[in-house]
């Protein structure tokens, strides 16, 4: 199997939040896409692993994924066991992605930061034949997506055309974002519906930076290559983006 874009999600819903727009755009262009959930989010305040499995499969269908896998690493302990790296290496060698999407290195959730470090190491060692089993595989590019903590992006994708579908994929996680707990003390900052408004505000903020309605930000730790100086110039119909130098 060869996957064009593979997103690693520390918990079910993280990939939808951070890179759902890009996954939708890629699927519409005929590229193969997949999500690998590192954990099942079993330590979450709301929902159960069984509920979240149903939610993530529904969200995956909305995103048009080619495949979705779960590594079942322990929630709240991602990356703390050396075997976790071997598991991710094996996954990379099986799916053989061209591009990997991972959480950003700085985020309010410790699992997200740990996942970013874990995936970076595994992506490197996936190409080293003496590590693990299976045929070595080197990815072409890694991009880091935003879950909670904002950052200055290396690039922003225009996801305006898929924003309604993106929103529906996130809303598939009703247990996390659309329902309060049975008791007041079970409510979380994400569960009262305001988080969806936050995602819209974020999308509009990054969209404004590229002069579009909704944008999805990414960070690249390596340079992005261009084969033509003309690629640096906007089209004649586009307007100057907010925050540009002109």
The answer to whether 92 touches 131, Cβ cutoff 8 Å, is no
Beta bridge partners of 9: 37
- Distance between CA 4 and CA 152 in Å, rounded? 25
Cα 129 from Cα 206, distance rounded (Å)? 40
Tell me whether residue 246 is in a domain. no
pLDDT digits (tens, 9 = 90+) for 3-51: 999 999 999 999 999 999 999 999 999 999 999 999 999 988 787 888 9
Count of the separate structural domains present in the chain: 1
Q: Which domain holds residue 213?
A: 5-232
> Helix, strand, coil % (nearest 5) of the chain?
40, 15, 45
Of 13-22, 27-36, 184-193, 221-230, the one with minimum mean pLDDT is 184-193
Residue 239 lies in a domain: no
Query: How many Cβ atoms sit within 10 Å of the Cβ of residue 3?
Result: 22
Angle (CA) 96-145-117 rounded to 5° is: 65
Tell me what pLDDT residue 245 has.
43
Tell me what the pLDDT averaged over the chain comes to.
90
Determine the pLDDT at residue 66: 97
- Please report whether residue 240 resides in a domain: no
Q: What is the mean pLDDT of residues 152-163?
A: 97
Q: Is residue 154 part of a domain?
A: yes
Q: Would you say residue 237 lies in a domain? A: no
* pTM for the whole structure: 0.91
Residues 6+ apart with CB under 8 A from 162: 21, 24, 25, 28
pLDDT reported for residue 182: 47
pLDDT tens profile 83-131: 999 999 999 999 999 999 999 999 999 999 999 999 999 999 999 999 9
- Residues 5, 22 contacting (CB under 8 angstroms): yes
Residue in this structure with the two tokens 């290195």, named with its chain if needed: 105
- Is residue 226 very low, low, confident or very high in pLDDT (cuts 50, 70, 90)? confident
In a domain, 134, yes or no: yes
Whether residue 20 contacts residue 64, with contact meaning beta carbons closer than 8 Å, is answered with no
Domain annotation covers residue 124: yes
CATH number at residue 200: 3.40.50.10320
β partners of residue 70: 37
Q: 166 lies in a domain?
A: yes
């Amino acid at each position: 199997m060869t996957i064009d874009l593979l997103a690693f999600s520390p918990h079910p819903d993280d990939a939808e939040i951070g890179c759902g727009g890009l996954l939708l755009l890629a699927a519409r262009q005929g590229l193969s896409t997949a999500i690998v959930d590192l954990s099942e989010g079993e330590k979450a305040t709301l929902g159960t692993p069984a509920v979240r499995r149903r939610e993530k499969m529904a969200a995956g269908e909305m995103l048009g994924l080619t495949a979705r896998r779960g590594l079942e690493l322990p929630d709240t302990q991602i990356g703390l066991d050396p075997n976790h790296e071997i598991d991710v290496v094996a996954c990379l060698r099986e799916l053989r992605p061209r591009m990997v999407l991972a959480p950003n290195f700085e985020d309010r959730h410790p699992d997200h930061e740990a996942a970013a470090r874990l995936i970076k190491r595994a992506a490197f060692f996936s190409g080293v034949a003496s590590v693990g089993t299976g045929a070595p595989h080197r990815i072409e590019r890694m991009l880091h997506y935003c879950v909670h903590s904002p950052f200055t992006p290396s690039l922003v994708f225009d996801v305006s055309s898929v924003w309604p579908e993106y929103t529906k994929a996130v809303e598939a996680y009703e247990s996390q974002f659309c329902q309060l707990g049975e008791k007041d003390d079970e409510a979380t900052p994400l569960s009262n519906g305001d988080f969806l408004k936050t995602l819209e505000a974020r999308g509009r903020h990054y969209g404004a930076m590229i002069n579009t309605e909704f944008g999805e930000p990414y960070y690249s730790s390596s340079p992005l290559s261009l084969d033509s100086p003309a690629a640096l110039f906007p089209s004649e119909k586009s307007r100057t983006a907010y925050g540009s130098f002109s």
